[in-house]
Amino acid sequence: MATSELKPSTTPSAGPKRGTVVLTLAALLVFGSLSVLISQGWRPGAESPQPVPVTDTQLRNAYDASPLIGDWVVAWRTASGDPGFSISEFSLASRTPLADWQPDIPPYGLEASELAPPMANRYVWSPDRTRFADYLASYGEPDSVLTLYNRTGNRTLERLAFCGTPCSFDDAAWLNPDLLAVLGWQETADGSARQVTLRLYDLRAQELSVYVSFPRVLTANPFDQAKQSRWELSQPPRGGDGQPNITVTSPADGSTVGTAFAISGQARTFEQNVRVRVTNLRTGSTLIDSFTTATAPDIGVFGPYSYSVQLPLENVLGGDMLQVEAFEESAEDGSEINMVTHVVTYNP
């Protein structure tokens, strides 16, 4: 019986040409690369990312040395809403000798009270407690300041970093007595996005390395509450000496006031803020609700405050009893604390 065999056809194939195959493969490679970048946080129009490999020695050692850095990455991953946010995307933005850095103000010594609790409670101390970093040095102000104590062994405090609203510091950790990691974020040059930053201060090598993440649009900061809580640790006990934290010396309780008068006294409050309120007890309406600031020489020290009142004539009558209040809003929960109340009579 005859057998049939499949023999190669002598007719040219109608399949894809070699050039077409190459172009198709190239397109697939480009698409695959873009997919990886997008999954890691890159967006069209953003700066081209250059991720640091997991094997990058300095970054990997820092990440492994402190659980705080891992928790920080997780917190920003959650805040950004990007599951691809990872330490592996960080790139080395700069590495500069600390010797080339000039402080904007000269280093200065500290008083004994500044090295002891409660103020010292907010500092991030080195493992041997010979140095500390303070990333809350300007807490409550629009600018961000990072200070370091005893960098060169001369027991002075100096500014390591300073910037306005385009950056902030989240936390800090000592990886060893000579290596400090400072965590935070900074805006991109055009202000359209933010990059999470890891600053490594190597005090033995006198070198600063700055790593940054891919740019992202980040609005919420997951560390605001933690920073406030740490700041509260450095505040002196309020009223611990038996004295009220706010006093009102004018107007005196039971006195008579005119259309214009001042609410004044002494206060030692968080950020020296004093809130004032005047209520018409006849109508129950609030006539004044504002705030002023005490002029205190230092944290935890009394300072004078004064607020000028101008009563709205349409809301008061001669003989009305007015309730004058001075108080503080709790930095913890916003409640009204350290309240002082006087009742006065209005006489136009």
Confidence label for 31 from pLDDT (cuts 50, 70 and 90): very low
Average pLDDT over residues 21-39: 43
30 domain-assigned = no
pLDDT of 70 higher than 90 = yes
Instruction: Count other Cβ atoms within 10 Å, centred on residue 340.
Output: 19
pLDDT of 343 higher than 60 = yes
Domain count across the chain: 2
102 domain-assigned = yes
Confidence label for 124 from pLDDT (cuts 50, 70 and 90): very high
pLDDT of 316 higher than 60 = yes
Name the nearest CA neighbour of 185 among 169, 171, 200: 169
Residue 174's pLDDT is what? 96
Residue 2's pLDDT is what? 36
**Residues 193 and 264 grouped into a single domain:** no
7 domain-assigned = no
**% of residues, the chain, pLDDT over 70:** 80
267 domain-assigned = yes
**Residues 152 and 100 grouped into a single domain:** yes
**% of residues, the chain, pLDDT over 90:** 50
- Identify the domain containing residue 61 by its residue range: 43-233
Residue 140's pLDDT is what? 79
Residue 261's pLDDT is what? 97
**Residues 195 and 62 grouped into a single domain:** yes
pLDDT of 62 higher than 70 = yes
CATH number at residue 301: 2.60.40
pLDDT of 334 higher than 90 = no
Confidence label for 225 from pLDDT (cuts 50, 70 and 90): confident
Select from 233, 264, 291 the last residue of a domain. Answer: 233
**Residues 224 and 78 grouped into a single domain:** yes
Average pLDDT over residues 130-134: 94
* Lowest-confidence segment of 68-77, 102-111, 120-129 by average pLDDT: 102-111
pLDDT of 250 higher than 50 = yes
pLDDT of 104 higher than 70 = no
Rounded to whole angstroms, the maximal C-alpha distance in the chain is 131
* Lowest-confidence segment of 28-42, 63-77, 272-286 by average pLDDT: 28-42
**Residues 220 and 171 grouped into a single domain:** yes
Q: For residues 86 and 73, give the distance between their C-alpha atoms in angstroms, rounded to a whole number.
A: 7
Average pLDDT over residues 281-288: 92
Cis peptide before 166 (omega within 30 of 0): no
**Residues 284 and 192 grouped into a single domain:** no
Cα Rg of the chain, angstroms: 31
**Residues 220 and 318 grouped into a single domain:** no
207 domain-assigned = yes
Name the nearest CA neighbour of 66 among 149, 166, 142, 180: 180
**Residues 79 and 219 grouped into a single domain:** yes
6 domain-assigned = no
Select from 233, 248, 273 the last residue of a domain. Answer: 233
**Residues 262 and 167 grouped into a single domain:** no
298 domain-assigned = yes
Residue 111's pLDDT is what? 77
Residue 241's pLDDT is what? 64
Residue 47's pLDDT is what? 40
Average pLDDT over residues 177-195: 94
**Residues 155 and 294 grouped into a single domain:** no
Select from 233, 264, 294 the last residue of a domain. Answer: 233
pLDDT of 49 higher than 80 = no
Average pLDDT over residues 139-150: 88
**Residues 52 and 192 grouped into a single domain:** yes
37 domain-assigned = no
**Residues 92 and 167 grouped into a single domain:** yes
